[in-house]
């Protein structure tokens, strides 16, 4: 089984071969056991981690050690559909707002959980001595805000996720 996992601004290829896990081509000393519908036990390099998760489509909110992170997981079928251009506006790419160029975040105009309309301002980014208001590509709800005022961001940095 092959998965592509995006956790925050990092992406990984995760493969399961029998009972083994391979992360970006490296064999992991890991075991995962599901404890319930939204909870599991990860034993990684001999350390035990209790993980809880809430899933909505490809989006998963993962909590371990009191830290909550947003993840997007795509299986082989989703990756194949994406490769052949069958992503709809419901795809992850259509629900993410990325920095079009390197810049400085001046304002974040929305909060997680807030409803937004297509075209509504989300983030004000200063780039090349100009202020650019980045707008929602579609109507929805803000799933995650990955930046704060004063953050320097690179080109294509993930700023906002919508659901």
Q: Write the CATH number for 73.
A: 3.30.700.30
Considering the domain architecture, whether residues 105 and 60 belong to the same structural domain is answered as: no
Asked if residue 88 belongs to a domain, the reply is no
Residue 4, token pair as written in the block: 């592509």
Output the pLDDT for position 50.
92
Q: How many CB atoms lie within 10 A of CB 24?
A: 10
Q: Which of 83, 115, 149 is the C-terminal boundary of a domain?
A: 83
Considering the domain architecture, whether residues 114 and 140 belong to the same structural domain is answered as: yes
Considering the domain architecture, whether residues 79 and 104 belong to the same structural domain is answered as: no
102 or 10, which is more confident = 102
Question: Range of 58's domain?
Answer: 2-83
Lowest mean pLDDT among 1-15, 87-101, 104-118, 128-142: 87-101
Residue 94 is given by DSSP the state G
Overall number of domains in the chain: 2
Asked if residue 13 belongs to a domain, the reply is yes
The model's pTM:
0.46
C-alpha R_g of the chain: 18
Residue 59, token pair as written in the block: 């989006």
């Amino acid at each position: 089984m092959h998965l592509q996992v995006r956790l925050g601004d990092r992406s990984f290829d995760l493969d399961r071969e029998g009972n083994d896990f391979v992360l970006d081509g490296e064999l992991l000393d890991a075991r995962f056991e599901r404890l319930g519908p939204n909870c599991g036990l990860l034993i990684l390099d001999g350390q035990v981690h209790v993980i809880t998760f809430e899933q909505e489509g490809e989006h998963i909110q993962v909590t371990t050690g009191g830290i909550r992170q947003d993840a997007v997981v795509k299986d082989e079928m989703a990756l194949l559909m994406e490769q052949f251009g069958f992503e709809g506006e419901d795809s992850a790419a259509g629900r993410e707002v990325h920095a079009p160029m390197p810049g400085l975040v001046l304002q974040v105009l929305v909060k997680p959980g807030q409803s937004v309309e297509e075209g509504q301002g989300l983030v004000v980014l200063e780039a090349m001595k100009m202020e650019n208001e980045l707008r929602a590509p579609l109507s929805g709800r803000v799933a995650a805000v990955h930046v704060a005022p004063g953050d320097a961001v690179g080109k294509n940095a993930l700023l906002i996720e919508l659901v």
